[in-house]
């Protein structure tokens, strides 16, 4: 096996279906992304991934926080996370179209946010602009200052791709890492 790789946008519509839960959403999108790229590169192993942030509410059940897209929606999402635990569900699909090879898994990382006042939220959104991140938060930058705790089997999962488990899958299909 060679060590080269390409990053390619899958061109998949990421719109959530009505009544689709977070687990179903991220699993469907990771698979759709991998399939879209695998169709263009049938002999290659292709990685697709997707992530959603989930709040559990006694009154509303599961609340899926997607990518906010605007500063206003980002601020609203972070307000709803303040003082609460958010589950980040990350699904990964590794496929090769030519022989039907397929591996899938889901990681769940739990982030306990500290109590966030309006000034903190506004400063964070202005400085980091995490508008394309699930729940309007990214731990790899200033967002880590918004946390009380993070519970995870794989600390890389929170940035959108659980590399520990992905490396295990890639080794299983023949890649030497490292």
Query: What amino acid positions are annotated as catalytic residues?
Result: 50
How many whole angstroms separate alpha carbon 34 and alpha carbon 141?
27
Dihedral sign of CA atoms 17, 21, 26, 31 in order = negative
**Strand ranges of the sheet holding 46-57, from the earlier edge strand across to the other edge:** 61-65, 46-57, 85-96, 101-113, 147-151
């Amino acid at each position: 096996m060679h060590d080269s790789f390409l990053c390619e946008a899958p061109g998949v519509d990421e719109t959530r279906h009505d009544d689709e839960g977070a687990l179903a959403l991220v699993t469907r999108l990771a698979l759709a992304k991998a399939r879209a790229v695998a169709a263009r590169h049938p002999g290659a192993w292709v990685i697709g991934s997707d992530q959603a942030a989930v709040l559990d509410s006694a009154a509303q059940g599961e609340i899926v926080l997607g990518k906010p897209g605007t500063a206003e929606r980002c601020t609203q999402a972070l307000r709803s996370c303040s003082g609460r635990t958010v589950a980040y569900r990350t699904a990964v699909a590794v496929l090769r179209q030519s022989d039907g090879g397929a591996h899938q898994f889901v990681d769940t990382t739990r982030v306990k946010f500290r109590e966030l006042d309006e000034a903190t939220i506004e400063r964070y959104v202005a400085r980091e602009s995490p508008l394309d991140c699930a729940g309007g938060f990214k731990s790899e930058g200033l967002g880590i200052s918004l946390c009380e705790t993070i519970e995870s089997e794989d600390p890389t999962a929170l940035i959108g791709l659980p590399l520990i488990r992905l490396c295990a899958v890639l080794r299983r299909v023949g890649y030497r890492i490292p």
